[in-house]
Structure 1
Amino acid sequence: MKTKKRVITVGFGRKKTAAMLSVLGLSLTLSACGSGSPTAQPAQGGDKNPEVKLRITWAGSQVRHDATLKALDAYTKLHPEVKFEPEYMGFDTYWTKMGTLSAARNLPDILQIDTNILTDYAQRGQLLDIGSGINTADIDPSLIKAGNVDGKQYAIPIGANAIALHYDKVMLEKLGIQVPVQGFTWDELIKLAREVKPKLDKGKYLLQDLSVSISGNETDKYEIYQLAQGKGFLHTPDGKFNIDKDTFVKFNQLFAELRKDGIVPPIDVTVANKENDPKLDNLLNGTIMIQRGYAASIGAIDGVKPGQFGLMVTPQAVKSGSFLLPAQFFAVSKESKYPEQAKKFIDWFVNDVEAGKILGLSRGPQVSKKVSEALTYTDVEKQQIDLIQKTAPIANEFKSRPKGYGSFVGEYNKISQQIGFGKITPEQGFDELKKKWQETVGK
């Protein structure tokens, strides 16, 4: 999706404003607006609320874009002095754009950020400590904790989330497959994938190849397996390398066998997947029926095929492979000229019931308990709430990723594909991952 930008204002049009000011004999300095646009009509006796223009960026689906733009409009109607300059795009281009802005020390006032990259931006001194001025009393403490780096609150969660499996409800029902309330074990899932293969048309598969990461943060395709084996996350709470070699090798050998037997798609089909593209997303185009996903992301695929998909908790083995996490955060640039106004907006965004009604679950379930309880939900939104409620009692405790993890993810994706294409062995892949960790995170 191409970057889109528009300035949201509330007030008179340019010509009408100029005419009124001329009649009143008032002078107006346009340079203070930054873009040359006129300010809102000044209050009688002087402008007590000078115009504030907040740059804000986020990534996601069209549903999220539309909902967020409506929320910005609503906020400006409440606070006419606050204007927004929004910039929004798909995930495939977002972090490239943010990297450019970060390097230029030109971050927007308010930016959407995630658990992979938060620590990088915080430890580079580019984010403001927003631990005061925003009400977090109604937000789950574990979600708030994920936005804390080195004892300071650099980010506020703006959506709740849980890792999950997306599945094609319609196809599984046709095959007579009943999804257990707490999901499958790993052994049950693999056995099921083998059993249903003869019933499927050529080129159709029950399960995604979870050993191959394509783009974005897909290290957790393997991570949910390692967690289920009782080996923890891919890093320790203090940011040390924690990929278990024996578990990693076993996992990759398992999926190599599944590829060979035609139980999961061929490697070239897997790497051609493009998330949320109706034609190239392997779940949306019917190539597979189960994939790794998130509670918060089912809305995007439901928008393409309403009522087609469901959510289940991730597979378990000796323990759960599930975890809860913020869907995203909002953070404030340390260079912002309007930090208090930015914090005031974020407080409204997460705590105001009317804001919650506008946003719905476009970023996953609302983080404020008060807001969440005030909303009514569609069937697909009820699925998200239900999945998070099922996950909460069995969730592994999640902590935001260490500095450099975003770079490590890119290296992980490359190495997983090299293993999938047979260019290196799983053992060699593990050694490469350990080396890349030292180069990206360990340094």
Structure 2
Amino acid sequence: MKHDRRWGKGITLGVAAVLALTACSGGSQGTAGKPGEGKGGDGGSTNLKIMWWGPDTRHKATLAALDIYSKQKPSIKFTPEYLAWDGYWSKLTTLAASKSMTDVLQMDGAYIQDYASRGTLEDLSDIDLKGIVDPKIIENSKINGKLYGIPLGHNGQGMAFNKTDLEAAGIMLPAKNWTWDDYFEFAKEGRAKLPKGKYPIGDGSNIWDNYQYYQTAKGKGPIMVDGKKFNLNKELWYEYQNRFAQFRKDGTVPPPDVTKAFVDNDPKGDSMASGAVMTKGVTVASVAVMEQLMPGKVGLTTMPTGPSGGGWAQSTLFLSVSSTSKYKKEAKEFIRWFITDKEAGKALGTSRGIPINNEIYKELEPSLQPTDLMSRKLLDTVIEKALPFYPAPTGWSEWVQAYQAEMEAVWFGKKSLDDAYKTIETMGKEIEAKLGGK
């Protein structure tokens, strides 16, 4: 499965950040039955344990859908558990180790490959999705030819911009499918026309996948190929980093201390909502937040593109079934219902983004809020040139952290760019060897 999703602190809001909103957790709530209850498919009561993460709006919507299912099918009861992002993955790690994962569980594109490779997820390829999910989406969601999660919503990466302030400054607005050269020229024009304290673009050169957008757009592939092989293009990396070094020098991007102080989604601290930076990376799942913070001022475009395209568009949120579940048949039937039932669709709304089933979306569209319509607009904008989603696979977290630390050392003059590259490259090759990528 191919993946990626952020655009850096100060210019990016990754999907993970959106989903990591503070939320309560619960054990037996809503339609909960007793754990272990029932005999499965023999006519007795079946209890399905289900687990997900997200904000309170998602919790309430999901509980409502579970109630609908139990009313439609009285033999099925649920034990729901819902947590915030960090708590979810911490608990799931423990459950996976003890082979006691819930029957049905929410999965993220950044982690599904890891859980599938450990044998903890059931192959769902036998669920009939014809006419429900686009075959291309299904194919992109497969891991080694098998489907370990049913996609729930559309997602993708694009860029938001402050059209009000840009127009006031007489700066040409970013165009759909603009190139990296267009992006850099936009930055230069913005620096010349914007007042002091305002910047055309942010500095995300300290975040690994911000550079990866550049490398993949240029046709050189992701930095981690198949989760094992290290693939950092030295020539492009220096080209990109030297460009931003010059931007820091001439004030095209905010100073490092200002960039470090930005707080995503905070009305006063967010890089774009505060009025400091004119552009910011957003996802289909997160763009509504910017519209709420800056009503009527947000314009949308693609990520800068290259010969291979730019940004990404792919489902990143799934429902999976535990390989140790005693009720696999019932779990699969429920998941298919979850994305096809119109009553469930109304209850779930856009709590997991734009519904993957277009028939459900059409039912919802007339009643959607402007912020929800903004999400669809971004998806329609980015889909043409979008690349696959490339996350940092399991085993690369230490490298990801080191990349940021090294580049911030460069920012503040504590290291040379050459020394930072040597550290980043050496660690990458060491991890590659450890993971057997050679």
TM-score range, shorter chain: 0.7 to 0.9
Verify: 1:368 aligned to 2:357, yes or no.
yes
Q: In structure 2, do the counterparts of structure 1 residues 428 and 85 end up closer, same or farther at CA, with 3 Å as the change threshold?
A: same
Aligned to 1:148: 142
Question: In the alignment, is the contact (CA less than 8 A) between 1:10 and 1:77 conserved in 2?
Answer: no
Q: Say whether 1:311 aligns with 2:300.
A: yes
Partner of 1:74: 68
CA distance in 1, matches of 2:204, 2:251: 14
Aligned partner of residue 191 in structure 2, secondary structure: helix
* Larger deviation, residues 222-231 vs 423-432: 423-432
Name the CA distance, whole Å, in 1 between partners of 2:198 and 2:250.
Answer: 13
| Partner Cα separation in structure 1 for residue 311 and residue 384 of structure 2 | 10
Partner Cα separation in structure 1 for residue 67 and residue 261 of structure 2: 38
Q: What secondary structure, in the 3-state scheme, does the structure 1 residue paired with 2:315 have? A: strand
Aligned residues of 2:24 and 2:83 also touching (Cα < 8 A): yes
Letter of the 2:82 partner, please give it.
E
Aligned to 2:235: 246
Q: Does 1:5 align with 2:6?
A: no
User: 2:163, 2:173 within 8 Å by CA — same for their partners in 1?
Assistant: no
1:316, CA displacement in angstroms? Answer: 2.1
- Within the candidate set 332, 338, 341, 1:352 is matched to 341
CA-based RMSD: 3.2
Query: Is the Cα contact below 8 Å between 2:174 and 2:186 reproduced in 1?
Result: no
User: Which stretches in structure 1 are left out of the alignment for 5+ residues?
Assistant: 12-31, 41-46, 214-218
1:219-238 mapped onto 2 (5 Å cutoff): 219-236=208-225
Counterpart Cα distance in 2 of 1:412 and 1:95? 23
SS class of match (2:311): coil
Q: Residues 118-166 of structure 1, C-alpha deviation per residue, up to 9 Å, x if partnerless?
A: 2211111111112223535421223222332222211121111121112
Q: Which residue of 2 aligns with 1:436?
A: 427
Q: Kindly tell me: are residues 192 and 125 of structure 1, through their superposed partners in 2, closer, same or farther at Cα, counting changes over 3 Å?
A: same
Of 66, 78, 82, the match for 1:83 = 78
Pairs within 5 Å for 1:63-212:
63-80=57-74, 81-89=76-84, 91=85, 94-197=88-191, 199-200=193-194, 202-212=196-206
1:8/1:72 contact within 8 Å kept: no
Contact 1:197 1:205 in 2 (8 A): yes
8 Å CA contact 2:203, 2:253 repeated in 1? yes
Q: CA deviation at 1:244?
A: 0.9
State, as a whole percentage, how many aligned pairs show the same letter: 33
Cα offset for 1:325?
1.5
Over residues 398-428 of structure 1, what are the superposed CA-to-partner deviations in whole Å (9 max), with x where a residue is unaligned? 5776553556544444444344334434444
Partner of 1:300: 289
Bigger-Rg structure (1/2): 1
Q: Distance in 2 between matches of 1:178 and 1:93?
A: 44
Aligned residue for 2:205, secondary structure, equals: coil
Length-normalised TM-score, structure 1: 0.79
- Cα distance in 2 for partners of 1:426, 1:107 equals 45
2:50 and 2:81 in contact (8 A); partners too: yes
Structure 2, unmatched stretches of 5+, are 1-21
State the Cα deviation string for residues 85-119 of structure 1 (Å, max 9, x = none). Answer: 13131x45554454444445443333332222222
Q: 1:440 to 1:73 in 2, by over 3 A?
A: farther
Q: 1:330 aligns with which of 319, 324, 338?
A: 319
Distance 1:78 1:176, change over 3 A: farther
Q: Give deviations 1:227-268, integer Å, cap 9, x for gaps.
A: 232322224468532221111111112112212222212222
| Residues 169 and 194 in structure 2, CA contact (< 8 A), matched pair in contact too | no
- After superposition, the Cα gap between the structure-2 partners of 1:10 and 1:92, relative to the gap in structure 1 and judged at 3 Å, is closer
**C-alpha displacement of 1:294:** 1.3
Instruction: Please say if residues 31 and 79 of structure 2, whose CA atoms lie closer than 8 Å, have aligned partners that are also in contact.
Output: no
Aligned pair in 2 of structure 1 residues 300, 68: CA closer, same or farther (>3 Å)? Answer: farther
Say if 1:302 and 1:383 are closer, same or farther in 2 by CA, change over 3 A: closer
Q: Which residue of 2 aligns with 1:50?
A: 45
**Compared with structure 1, are the counterparts of its residues 312 and 388 closer, same or farther at alpha carbon in structure 2 (3 Å cutoff)?**
same
- The CA deviation at 1:181 is 4.3
With 239-248 and 100-109 compared, the bigger mean Cα shift is at: 100-109
Taking a change above 3 Å as real, the CA distance of residues 426 and 354 of structure 1, as seen in their structure-2 partners, is farther
SS in 1 for 2:244: helix
Aligned to 2:376: 385
Amino acid corresponding to residue 47 of structure 2 in structure 1: V
Cα deviation, residue 279, structure 1: 4.4
Structure 2: distance between partners of 1:170 and 1:401: 35
In 1, the alpha carbon distance for the partners of 2:247 and 2:90 equals 34
2:356 and 2:201 mapped to 1: Cα distance? 31
Secondary structure at 1:128's aligned position in 2? coil
User: Contact 1:119/1:400 (CA < 8 Å) preserved in 2?
Assistant: no
Write the distance in 2 (CA, Å) between the matches of 1:238 and 1:414. Answer: 22
Amino acid at match of 2:248: R
- 1:196 to 1:144, Cα distance in 2 relative to 1, 3 A: same
Contact 1:33 1:53 in 2 (8 A): no
CA distance in structure 2 between the partners assigned to 1:3 and 1:102 by the alignment: 22
- For 2:270 and 2:238, the matched residues in 1 are separated by 27
> Secondary structure of 1:326's match?
coil
The one-letter code sitting in structure 2 at the alignment partner of 1:264 is V
Shift in alpha-carbon separation, 1:109–1:410, aligned structure 2, 3 A:
farther
Letter in 1 for 2:173: V
Greater CA drift, 396-405 or 65-74: 396-405
Which residue number corresponds to residue 28 of structure 1?
none
Q: Is the 8 A contact 1:33 1:51 kept in 2?
A: no
| Alpha-carbon displacement from aligned partner over 1:16-57 (angstroms, at most 9, x marks no partner) | xxxxxxxxxxxxxxxx8139xxx99xxxxxx94414142312
CA separation of 1:6 and 1:187: change in aligned 2, threshold 3 A:
same
SS where residue 55 of structure 1 aligns? strand
Give 3-state SS (helix, strand or coil) of 1:4's partner. Answer: coil
Equivalent-residue separation in structure 1 for 2:398 and 2:146 (angstroms): 23
CA distance in 2, matches of 1:415, 1:98: 31
Number of residue-to-residue matches in the alignment:
407
